[in-house]
């Protein structure tokens, strides 16, 4: 038999509403199931086949949850920590109960795009070296990058501590500001590469990861669910990498 879920849970699973907001919507008669208003939050619904609307908008239940976060500084990219706040602490309880994991990590002081999901297969593909997912970072540095730095990044660098960095993109934006594009994700890589060129990083923010770009409307600490179009494009890109 198909899995049946409580209506309020099903709406909260979308990440668009908390469980309480979902219950309020349902009790106010703003939720329909297969065309009929249902006012009982505990009503059981088959998420795979039911046609749902909430507040007049169609709602699609998704097996997995995909969250785009604008990670703020001062927060760890981890699922739990006894002493310091983690990115999971920024999510409401109904999302914290899911098995969401950050896809890759940003340093504590780095801001910007972080994807969190319970879709382990997609996360694995995004992080696999063969996927060659471009990650673009906006950096503010001491000093301004020059042609020599751009050439060194393009050629690939071996740092003094032996870290081998593949060819990377470096674009000057103005005094003390640049964009770095990496295809790998080694520990503190942007900071270490720029420091090795005598341009230590003062501020770092990830702008994009593969086809996913940080929503400019998200302030640091804010998050939203990925749109269906964003999930589709991620899946398509990963499928094509793994067919090659």
Q: What is the set of active-site residues?
A: 107
Nearest-angstrom CA–CA distance, 235 and 125 = 9
Query: Which of residues 64 and 203 has its CB atom nearest to ligand URA in the complex?
Result: 203
Q: Interacting stretch for ligand URA, rule CB under 6 A, among 91-99, 122-130, 168-176, 187-195?
A: 187-195
Is residue 190 at the binding interface for ligand URA, with CB under 6 A as the rule? yes
Q: Among 21, 46, 89, 107, which residue interacts with ligand URA (rule: CB under 6 A)?
A: 107
Give the nearest distance from C-beta 199 to ligand URA in angstroms.
13
**Four-point Cα dihedral 25, 219, 78, 128, nearest 10:** 100
37 bridge partner residues: 32
Q: Among 28, 44, 188, 202, which residue interacts with ligand URA (rule: CB under 6 A)?
A: 188
Give the nearest distance from C-beta 40 to ligand URA in angstroms.
46
* In contact, 148 and 142? CB cutoff 8 Å: no
Strand positions, DSSP E, the chain: 5-6, 31-33, 36-37, 44-45, 52-54, 57-59, 66-71, 101-102, 111-117, 135-141, 157-158, 164-165, 169-174, 177-182, 201-209, 212-213, 223-225
Q: Interacting stretch for ligand URA, rule CB under 6 A, among 21-29, 161-169, 185-193, 216-224?
A: 185-193
Q: Among 50, 204, 234, 238, which residue interacts with ligand URA (rule: CB under 6 A)?
A: 204
Site for ligand URA in 20-79 (CB under 6 A): none
Q: How many helices (H) and strands (E) would you count in the chain?
A: 7, 17
Give the nearest distance from C-beta 239 to ligand URA in angstroms.
26
Nearest-angstrom CA–CA distance, 45 and 53 = 13
Is residue 110 at the binding interface for ligand URA, with CB under 6 A as the rule? yes
**Residue 178, token pair as written in the block:** 């640049």
Is residue 101 at the binding interface for ligand URA, with CB under 6 A as the rule? no
* Binding footprint of ligand URA, residue count (CB under 6 A): 8
**Site residues for ligand URA per CB under 6 A:** 106-107, 110, 188-191, 204
């Amino acid at each position: 038999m198909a899995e049946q879920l409580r209506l309020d849970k099903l709406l909260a699973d979308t990440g668009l509403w908390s469980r309480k907001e979902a219950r309020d919507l349902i009790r106010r008669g703003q939720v329909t199931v297969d065309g009929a208003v249902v006012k009982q939050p505990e009503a059981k619904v088959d998420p795979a086949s039911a046609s749902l609307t909430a507040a007049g908008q169609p709602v699609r239940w998704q097996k997995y949850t995909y969250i785009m976060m604008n990670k703020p500084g001062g927060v760890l990219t981890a699922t739990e920590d006894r002493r310091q706040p983690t990115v999971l602490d920024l999510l409401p309880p109904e999302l914290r109960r899911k098995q969401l994991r950050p896809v890759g990590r940003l340093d504590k002081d780095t801001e910007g795009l972080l994807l969190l999901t319970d879709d382990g297969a997609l996360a694995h593909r995004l992080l696999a070296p063969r996927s060659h997912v471009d990650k673009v970072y906006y950096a503010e540095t001491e000093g301004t990058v020059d042609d020599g730095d751009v050439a060194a990044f393009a050629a690939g660098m071996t740092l003094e501590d032996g870290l081998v960095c593949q060819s990377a993109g470096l674009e000057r934006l103005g005094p003390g500001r640049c964009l770095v594009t990496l295809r790998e994700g080694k520990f503190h890589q942007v900071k270490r590469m720029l420091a090795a060129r005598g341009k230590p990083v003062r501020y770092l923010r990830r702008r994009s990861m593969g086809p996913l770009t940080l929503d400019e409307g998200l302030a640091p600490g804010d998050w939203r669910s990925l749109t269906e179009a964003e999930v589709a494009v991620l899946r398509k890109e990963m499928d094509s990498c793994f067919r090659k």
